């Protein structure tokens, strides 16, 4: 597990990102309780319950809507969406058109995930699914991800690749090559300090794939739910770190971040 962010600040950032203090650029040791240890503790508790009390796991951890995992997924994605929409108000975001569009897309994606996890309120308010929708939705719910692979497996594949390549591979490569010289690309590059949640998600993804392949069948009940929980935790962590960076830029008077290196203030 990655517990330190010292490597993130070991090389110079391109302007105007160089005004961001190291503590705002990436989580440090004082943040390890939530970046590293919280995901580990949650994973340990969930796995322990799964094997020590499987019936309790089925009845209280896994259920649709109000199970611990699905309810947690809703709140994690919802929190990420709220933080993204709030970030649209930063002067540096409003002054950077491409950055504004990307933050908006991040927020809409998180909002979509939160809505889909609770069928856009159906799990809260228990309304009946219209008959015409029940015919195309394999779980008879008012959501999109159970109607087509284009709303389920395809977005999940994009998420998996973004988390693995963008969240782990690229930052690891940067340990040797240094940061992107394009400020916007570096601003959006995740910190390795939040990698623990991603590594846990990838581990359970491997368990899920092996189980679907017939090996270790029924070793773990629906590991895909654990995968999604830690993916959305990673997503929230990413947004928190991005918000810290944007806040520091705003406080320093930076009003634009683009693909070309520039001065620290407008």
Interior/surface letters 129-155, b for 16+ CB within 10 angstroms, e for the rest: beeeeeeebeebbbbbbbeeeeebeeb
Q: What is the DSSP letter of 169?
A: I
When pLDDT is cut at 50, 70 and 90, the band that residue 216 belongs to is low
Confidence category of residue 223, pLDDT binned at 50, 70, 90 = very high
Please tell me the predicted confidence (pLDDT) of residue 144.
76
Burial of 122 (0-12, 13-18, 19+ CB in 10 A): middle
pLDDT in tens, 19-50: 999 999 999 999 999 999 999 999 999 999 99
pTM of the predicted structure, to 2 decimals: 0.89
Question: pLDDT averaged over the chain?
Answer: 88
Other residues' Cβ atoms within 10 Å of the Cβ of residue 39: 24
> Is the per-residue pLDDT at 210 higher than 80?
yes
Confidence of residue 138 (pLDDT cuts 50, 70, 90): confident
Reported as a pLDDT band with limits 50, 70 and 90, residue 215 is low
**How many angstroms separate the CA atoms of 245 and 16, rounded?**
11
Answer for the pair 240, 79: CB distance below 8 angstroms, yes or no: no
Helix crossing, 223-251 with 68-87: angle to 10°? 20
C-alpha distance across the termini of the chain, in Å: 39
């Amino acid at each position: 597990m990655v517990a330190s962010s010292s490597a993130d600040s070991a090389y110079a950032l391109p302007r105007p990102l160089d005004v961001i203090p190291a503590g705002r650029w990436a989580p440090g040791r004082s943040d390890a309780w939530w970046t590293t240890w919280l995901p580990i503790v949650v994973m340990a508790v969930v796995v322990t319950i799964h094997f020590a009390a499987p019936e309790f796991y089925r009845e209280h951890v896994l259920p649709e809507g109000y199970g611990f995992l699905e309810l947690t997924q809703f709140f994690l994605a919802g929190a990420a969406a709220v933080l993204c929409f709030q970030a649209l108000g930063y002067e540096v975001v409003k002054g950077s058109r491409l950055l504004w569009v990307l933050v908006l897309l991040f927020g809409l994606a998180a909002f979509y995930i939160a809505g889909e996890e609770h069928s856009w309120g159906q799990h809260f308010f228990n309304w009946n699914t219209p008959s015409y929708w029940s015919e195309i939705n394999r779980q008879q719910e008012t959501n999109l991800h159970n109607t087509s692979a284009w709303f389920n497996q395809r977005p999940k594949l994009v998420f998996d690749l973004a988390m693995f390549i963008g969240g782990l591979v690229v930052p690891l490569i940067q340990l040797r090559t240094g940061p992107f010289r394009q400020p916007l690309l570096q601003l959006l590059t995740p910190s390795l300090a939040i990698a623990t949640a991603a590594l846990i998600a990838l581990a359970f993804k491997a368990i899920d794939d092996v189980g679907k392949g017939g090996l270790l069948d029924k070793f773990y009940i629906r590991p895909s739910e654990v995968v999604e929980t830690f993916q959305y935790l990673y997503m929230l962590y990413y947004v928190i770190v991005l918000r810290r960076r944007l806040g520091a830029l705003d406080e320093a008077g930076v009003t634009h971040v683009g693909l070309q290196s520039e001065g620290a203030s407008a």
